[in-house]
Amino acid sequence: MLAGQLDTLAREAARLKPLHLRELLAAPGRFEQFSRRAGPLLLDFSRQKLDEPALQALGAIAEHCGWQQRRDAMFRGDVLNSSEQRPVLHTALRSGESQLPSPAPEEIRSEIAQTLQRMGELVDALERGDAGAYGIPAGITDVVNLGIGGSDLGPRLAVEALSSYHSGRFRCHFLPNVDGHEMAALMRRLDPRKTLVLLVSKSFTTQETLLNGAVLRQWIAQAYAGDEARAAAHFVAVSANVAAAQALGIPPERVLPMWDFVGGRYSVWSSVGLVLAIAIGMPNFRAFLRGAALMDDHFRSADWRDNLPVLLALIGIWNRNGLGYAAHGVIPYLDALSELPAFLQQLEMESLGKRVSADGGELLQATVPVVWGSVGTNAQHAFFQALHQGSDVVPLDLIGAVRPAHALRDNHEALLANLLAQGAAFALGKTREEALAEATKGSAAEREALAAQRTFPGDRPSSTLLLDALTPESLGALIALYEHKVVVQALLWDINAFDQWGVELGKVLAKSILPALAGNAATESFDASTRGLIATIRALS
């Protein structure tokens, strides 16, 4: 952002700081003024420390940056990922479900449609128990998704969120980490002859995924007395590096492509979502795409004042650059969305965790806050103490669904009551006077001390996102909402949201440490700490 824009935010923040959220919330029509709907999602941001002039100032910044042009350039397939010279076309993956015509290149859309068709045929064949044409043996009961980062988090979130839509035909498992404990436990539980492995890696160079793939391949081969070909029949690959997948002995009919124009963390809509399609069936997978397309159409057509992704982005920028908050909490009041904080961590922190612009210039403003969270009400009994009374303010997204997927009405009402109560408590707090009035025992000094500890400062902002119900459509819309939030923030912060150079250094170092750990390489070139730790590990192992 420009220095002048940051000054505007600082001025607006200074003007609003003395006003407590209690006062802002008391204004007539506050909810109507600061809540918006798009399809199955309602965004209530009336508990953000914002008023109309501050919102207008934020909107003016977005307009000045040309958010519509950036949005249109993305949907069109312009090269937005400049450091890797790639277009950014995850929206094309769901454009078949859009009401608006897609401006993405025709040949890309047709390749996507063909891949979706192939994926559908494979899923249908598996569902019928008739995947022999693919060389997959009959009797598959368990599907293991091997992938990490974007090849894990999106599919894992969606598979768990949509458990009430599972066909029940297969049990789905996720094995992202190279931690052998998980792998060993999974191998103890599953029958290798009934296991299908999805090897999901955009690059097909990721150490964790390839190593885990090799271990499972050996495990399955052992069940066939070392017959490698029969073991290979249990593998399906998803990759942008189709040649590398085929080089592992997986034939073309079991390799589904994805593409360089889809970033890993934006890829759940592609064949990376195969495990989801297997879990919920193709009609539900298409409904998931439809929900995202609905959000795409909304993003493409609504004025910034009514545009949920733009508003979410502006609220984030306000809290980070106006009010100076360094963290952002995501609290879904739905166990089914328990993976959402982890998914958003990658989406937001890998996309926006940068301190230089695409042309290498140092940015003037702070960028992505630390994104973290956990489900309510569990979180209330764990870390909400600090959120209510600690020294740092953490703005929150509180997320719930109006209609549950079960008939236990009392449970669901209790869940929603907690969601609403927490947002109110964070905003309103409890004054010292109110706390003092409750302290009836002890001396005046003791009552004062207790009241101080029972005072809630309040004035702590949150947004509430209410889904009509958690369905494939609303989940698709929710994920696409956050994707577009990131795109708008990237524009305002002048960041390339589609590369991730920050993950490379550690990967390279791990490769050089591995032989030293095994005692096959010298350690002098490492720093003192690494040398000491290698020596300790080697002495004990």
Which residues of the shown chain bind ligand F6P in the complex (CB under 6 A)? 147-151, 201-203, 206, 209, 264-265, 350, 500, 503
Q: Would you say 235 or 426 has its CB closer to ligand F6P?
A: 235
Of 350, 354, 484, 485, the catalytic one is: 350
- Intra-chain end-to-end CA distance of the chain, in Å: 52
| Closest to 190 in 3D by CA, of 233, 219, 162 | 219
E strand intervals along 381-540? 396-403, 462-469
Distance of CA 282 to the CA centre of its chain: 22
Q: Cis link prior to 464 (omega < 30° from 0)? A: no
Q: Which two tokens stand for residue 501?
A: 């150079």
| Closest to 274 in 3D by CA, of 406, 127, 408, 392 | 127
Q: Would you say 204 or 285 has its CB closer to ligand F6P?
A: 204
Q: Would you say 245 or 294 has its CB closer to ligand F6P?
A: 245
Report the nearest approach of ligand F6P to the CB of residue 512 (Å).
17
Is 166 one of the annotated active-site residues of the chain? no
Report the nearest approach of ligand F6P to the CB of residue 351 (Å).
9
- For 261-279, b where at least 16 C-beta lie within 10 A, e where not — what string? bbbbbbbbbbbbbbbbbbb
CA distance 466 to 39: 11
Q: Would you say 60 or 503 has its CB closer to ligand F6P?
A: 503
At what angle are helices 153-161 and 472-493 packed, to 10 degrees?
A: 150
Q: Would you say 55 or 148 has its CB closer to ligand F6P?
A: 148
Q: Starting from the edge strand earliest in sequence, which strands make up the sheet with 171-174, in order?
A: 171-174, 142-146, 195-200, 235-239, 255-257
Q: Would you say 258 or 280 has its CB closer to ligand F6P?
A: 258
Report the nearest approach of ligand F6P to the CB of residue 320 (Å).
23
At what angle are helices 52-65 and 472-493 packed, to 10 degrees?
A: 80
Report the nearest approach of ligand F6P to the CB of residue 153 (Å).
8
Of 17, 64, 507, 511, the catalytic one is: 507
Q: Would you say 20 or 202 has its CB closer to ligand F6P?
A: 202
CA distance 534 to 510: 12
Q: Starting from the edge strand earliest in sequence, which strands make up the sheet with 370-373, in order?
A: 35-38, 41-44, 462-469, 396-403, 327-332, 370-373
CA distance 15 to 5: 15
Chain length of the chain: 541
Report the nearest approach of ligand F6P to the CB of residue 148 (Å).
5
Q: Would you say 82 or 164 has its CB closer to ligand F6P?
A: 82
Report the nearest approach of ligand F6P to the CB of residue 66 (Å).
27
Question: Beta-carbon neighbour count of residue 113 at 10 Å?
Answer: 13
CA distance 489 to 365: 12
CB 199 within 8 A of CB 209: yes
Of 181, 381, 406, 441, the catalytic one is: 381
Is 434 one of the annotated active-site residues of the chain? no
Is 84 one of the annotated active-site residues of the chain? no
Report the nearest approach of ligand F6P to the CB of residue 350 (Å).
6
Residues labelled as active-site residues: 350, 381, 507
